Amino acid sequence: MPTIGWFEILIVVALAIVILGPKDFPIMLKKVGSWIGSAKKYVNNIQNEISNIDLEDNNIQKKKDKKDKKNDA
């Protein structure tokens, strides 16, 4: 899988400035930044929900194990 280096990023930025113009380029950077931030928040929320489900499952399993030990004794 190819990697993107600094030179490639520089070319993309230069092309974006030429295509969009220096006036609209900062506006586009803000929009892209907000999209990336929204995507990160969404992924973080999903990860937290999965962690909470896993913790709840572990707690339920521990309670069942304790209950089984009490019934065995």
Give yes or no for residue 7 having a pLDDT over 70. Answer: yes
pLDDT in tens, 8-56: 999 999 999 999 998 999 999 999 999 999 999 999 999 999 888 888 8
pLDDT at position 71 is: 67
pLDDT at position 15 is: 94
pLDDT at position 64 is: 74
Its sign, for the CA torsion 52, 57, 63, 66, is: negative
Give yes or no for residue 66 having a pLDDT over 80. Answer: no
